[in-house]
Each structure stands twice: as C-alpha cells, then as structure tokens.
Homo-oligomer: A and B are copies of this chain.
Amino acid sequence: MQDLHHHLNFILELDKLKAVYRKALIKADNNRYENSAEHSWHIALTSHVLAPYADSSVDIARVSLMLLIHDIVEIDAGDTFAFDHLAVLSAQSIKESAAAERIFGLLPAPYNAQFIDLWNEFEKAMTPDAQFAKAMDRILPLIQNMQNNGGSWAQNSVTKNQVIQRNQYLEKSAPKLWHYVLAQIETATRNGWLKEE
C-alpha cells in the first residue's frame, strides 16, 4: 500500500495544472484564458479524432498518453508563448527538465522513469508518435485562430513562416493534414492574420 500512497500523491499534484493559464482564449466561456489541464484534454482527444489521418506507424494510445502528460512540467515551469525569444525558450527548457524530474519523480519506480522517458520522447520529437503528438499540439491553435479572425496570431504579429515551421511535424506523420494546414495558412496570410515576412 506504500506505493499506492505515492500514486495518489502524484494524482493530487496534477490538480495544480488547472491553475496554469495559457495565452489562448475560450470563446465558449466568455473569452476567459484557457488552462493547461483542459488544453491537454482537448488535444489528447484530438489525437483520437484525427487518428484516421495519421501515418500507419503512429500508435495513437501512446500519442494520447504523451499529450495527457506533455504540459505537466508547467506546474513548476509555467507556460511560455510559443513565439517567444530564443533565450526565453531555452531557459524554459532547463526549468522544464527539472520539473519533469520532480513531478514524475513523485511516482515510485519504474513508473517515474516511464513517464520521464515518454515526456522526453515528446520533447525531442524524433519518433513518429512524438511527431504526431507535436502536430496535435500545434494544429489545434491553428484551427481555433482560423475561426477567430486570426486570434493569437494577429495579436502577436506572428509570421506565415513561423506557423509553417511549427506545423512541419505534420508533413511526415499526417501528410493529408499537412496539405490542409498549408492551405489554411495561405488563407490566413491573404486575410492579413499572418504577416508575410
């Protein structure tokens, strides 16, 4: 029962992700800010819904678990805006690794290491599973911004090339979605929601 106590402690710690707020707005809830817990739910489920478009090498059950845990490090490290300066993003990366050690470390062996490994796999984005997971994390803001007159892009002067780069993970892990995304980015640029340069 000693082990169970550690599992339950980890589960309680997760509650804190509901207090980490992102830049995205929830239109359905009076445009309040989105938190990282509900965001993680949305993209984990998105991976199941878009599974028919994934390359056959992708294991959706692993992708979904990756997405459920991918933002947990923000409990200690906070959220960073995706298009922030490189120095900010690199300091963030160090904070997140320490956070992964502490938070997943609440679990007993071997589960702590399994979660840390899965989180590292997501971060490195070298496997088909991690690449499809990254793609889910990136396609959702795109869909939302397209519905919202450019949303966070327009507010933060994001360029067309930045968004193309961020969604590049789709090229191999889900080619059909990649073509769709490129077309959407063209539309956004034509509408002035993304800057040409």
Q: Which residues of A contact B (CB under 8 A)?
A: 1, 3-4, 7-8, 10-12, 14-16, 18-19, 26-29, 34-35, 37-38, 40-42, 44-46, 48-50, 52-53, 61, 64-65, 68-69, 107, 111, 140, 143-144, 147, 176-177, 180
Q: What is the CA–CA distance of A69 and B64 in the complex, to the nearest angstrom?
A: 13
Residues of chain B lying within 8 A (CB to CB) of residue A3: 52
The complex is assembled from copies of this chain, and their number is 2
Question: Chain B residues with Cβ under 8 A from A26's Cβ?
Answer: 15, 18-19
Known contacts A29-B18, A68-B45, A69-B45; A140 and B40 CB within 8 A of each other: no
Q: Which of B7, B37, B177 is A41 in contact with, Cβ under 8 Å?
A: B37
Evaluate contact between A10 and B49: CB separation under 8 angstroms: yes
